Amino acid sequence: MKRKGSAVWNGSLKEGKGTISLESGVLEDAQYSFKTRFEDGKGTNPEELVGAAHAGCFSMQLSAFLTEEGFAPDKLSTVSEITFENGEVKKSHLILDAKVPGIDKDQFDKIANKAKENCPISKLLKAEVTLEYDLK
């Protein structure tokens, strides 16, 4: 399986601008620029997209591991905070709000950390990956 994302950039770093698109068409010609990446401009940026990908990947991996262990999650809501410093992604901090009936904290902790280590996007990142959660 192969998935594609694409970007087009026009101009210099600070004055230029670009667009990002996904093969699925869900995101098409989304604007990005120096301001959207390093300041507060309107549009997206690569780190934001990596954060969304990591949050989605982790949530799916956690759901799979919970199901394997006999738990059916009601809801897994994840945010990934990407830390970008000195031209490098340094960290992805996963913040999870989970509702999983019938599981205790020790079981959940073991499964959630296994998902954090084994989701394909975690494996892709060279950055530190951390996790905090609220289990209901």
Determine how β-strand 17-22 pairs with β-strand 30-33: antiparallel
CA-wise closest residue to 109 among 132, 79, 125: 132
User: Which part of the chain has CATH 3.30.300.20?
Assistant: 46-135
pTM, full prediction: 0.90
pLDDT in tens, 103-122: 999 999 999 999 999 999 99
pLDDT in tens, 55-104: 999 999 999 999 999 999 999 999 999 999 998 899 999 999 999 999 99
Superfamily, domain 46-135: K homology (KH) domain (3.30.300.20)
Q: Distance (Å, rounded) from C-alpha 96 to C-alpha 78?
A: 4
